[in-house]
Amino acid sequence: MANRLKNARSPYLLAHAQDPVDWYPFGGEAFQKAQAEGKPIFLSVGYYACHWCHVMHRESFQDEEVAALLNAHFVPVKV
């Protein structure tokens, strides 16, 4: 399942483009959605060479149950 990061130029963001989390890039679209739906932003910041970012990706953001929770209750934003 591709999300809104599929057209990103950053290798780090592209690594999350197939996550089940419905990621938004940092920007107006995410903030408008959060305001319209009354949901908080779930902000995840990382970089490609970060070991713990890859661990979080594997153990949390690729997990279907975690993704369902994030998608239902937050507007997930990846930086």
Q: What is the pTM of this model?
A: 0.91
Delineate the domains of the chain, giving CATH numbers in brackets. Answer: 11-78 (3.40.30.10)
Q: State the pLDDT at residue 28.
A: 97
The predicted pLDDT at position 36 comes to 98
Distance CA 37, CA 76 (A): 13
Identify the pLDDT of residue 43. 98
Residues of the chain with pLDDT under 70: 1-2
Q: Give 56's contacts (C-beta < 8 A, 6+ positions apart).
A: 44, 46
